[in-house]
Chain A
Amino acid sequence: MIEEPLSNSERLIRMATIGRPEPKAQVPTPQTATPVTDQPGEAFLEARSLNVFYGHFQALRSVSIQVPGRQITAIIGPSGCGKSTFIRCFNRMNDTIAGFRAEGQVLFQGRNIYDRRIDVVDVRRRIGMVFQKPNPFPKSIYENVAFGPRINGYEGRLDEIVERALHRAALWDEVKDKIRQNAYALSGGQQQRLCIARALAIEPEVILMDEPCSALDPVATLKIEDLMRQLARDYTIVIVTHNMQQAARVSDWTAVMMMSEDRAGECIEFSATNEIFTNPREKRTEDYITGRFG
């Protein structure tokens, strides 16, 4: 029996039984994945071939990114890929961990903060940090914010500093009538903004945020995200987040980290956030952000 040739419409309808298509013509990707694929302008903070070890275990391998000033840079990646280790290198928060050793450079305004002559306290004053869980001191709201300026020997008008920091952290209107109350009376989202105010009170230039919203509800999360956008006008922000949508919403630049076979964390792609989330260059980035990896 001779089969009738199919009409175009019949062919189209037959075609409509498809599996997940594989691209015929792959977009050429560089053979060696250079982590820095775009230069986000002048670097304010920079990791240059950073290797980190905990004893014999290598936690980070050759991580290089350039963090631009007064913008938000997000670090994303699956659990255990070294995101937190990496962000904590930016103000030497890992120094106290037994066996910690860093090779390579972390440049802040062109100076290596791992240089022996660097004053670590000064680095941490200029590069503040906000952590995963809100961790206010068991003191009043006022004392939490005043704490940094006090121990830094500030002798001016503390009230003004406290009020300004609370304003900047978008918390003032909510707490101005109860500023002497214990910080523990605040909600989780308010406590986190208090921690941001506490970081701002010592006038840092960079704010590092390690999963700042992971303990917060969606409304409090959106408030912090709004606040981050406002703060990015004056501060350089680096945020580690598990929440990819959050990175997509708030950041200007995104670094994607992955664990290599020996479990050392590597930065596999660093690009403008819109590029990462619409058209990533690395197949592993694509697999991770589309949820087909992990």
Chain B
Amino acid sequence: MTRTGFERQLIAVQEDMLVMAGMVEAAIERGVEALKTRNVNLAQQIIEDDLKINRKRYETEEKCLELIATQQPLASDLRTIVSVLHITVDLERMGDHAEGIAKIALMLADEPPLKPYIDIPRMAQVASDMLMGSLEAFKDRDPARARAICDQDDEVDALYEQVYRELLTFMINDPRTIQRATYLIWTAHNLERIADRVTNICERVIYLVEGHIEELNVSKY
């Protein structure tokens, strides 16, 4: 006995989740790009695209609920659906953080840059790599990889602290920089939160494969 229809639907919700992750990853990357290049059009596009991310989340959630209601999934099928439900919530919130960065890019677009951006794009790159890796770990059902990805969160935290201290120095030395520096701290905070949410995805991968919930990362922030 096989459950071809159910199997297809179960794969479809996972594919939806991965597509959504791709949308979120693009939003993060483009948000930092819009900030760096002071590109107002790109920033506005990201804000509009966030609605698509949110819609994708609700679509995926509805499909998951339908599967639970009609197919009575059990064991690894149930864990898969529950994981997709949780991960899409995290992805949607990550999309909101990316949108936050785009809004900051809009606010800073008319201002001269405070400094060349180095650590913030680096944070974005690490967070994006972590996101990518967490979804690969999901796809491959690889808890060892999920655990390893969580360790990268320390790097993001360290960068965040560095950005914070540097911007604080700017503010102390020249109060006219306070507004711009604060916006940049918000940006770094958004990226720090994104990386933290990736660790939630990693926890779900472990739950999916091993059947227990394990808290992997207690962030400093």
Contacts and interface: CB of A to CB of B under 8 A. Distances in A.
Contacts of A21: 139-141
A17 B15 contact: yes
Nearest to A11: B132
A15 B135 contact: yes
A20 B22 contact: no
A96 interface: no
Interface class of chain B by DSSP: helix
A245 B211 contact: no
Contacts of B19: 12-13, 16
Contacts of B29: 7-9
B135 A27 contact: no
Chain B interface size band reads: 35 or more
Nearest to A286: B75
Contacts of B25: 7-9, 12
A138 interface: no
A176 to B, nearest CB: 37
B28 to A, nearest CB: 9
Chain A interface size band reads: 20 to 34
Interface stretch (B38-46, B76-84, B107-115): B76-84
B15 A16 contact: yes
Contact of B22 (A10, A245, A279): A10
Interface in A101-147: none
Interface in A10-45: 10-13, 15-25, 27
Given A15-B18, A290-B75, A292-B2, A9 B23 contact: yes
Given A278-B74, A279-B211, A290-B73, A13 B22 contact: yes
B11 A290 contact: no
B155 interface: no
Contacts of A148: none
B21 to A, nearest CB: 5
A255 B72 CA distance: 20
Given A12-B18, A21-B141, A25-B143, A277 B74 contact: yes
A225 B22 CA distance: 46
B76 A286 contact: yes
A180 to B, nearest CB: 43
Given A7-B26, A277-B74, 13 more contacts: A8-B128, A9-B26, A11-B132, A12-B131, A13-B22, A15-B139, A18-B18, A24-B141, A25-B143, A279-B75, A279-B211, A280-B75, A292-B1
The 4 closest A-B pairs by CB, nearest first: A279-B211, A16-B18, A12-B22, A23-B141
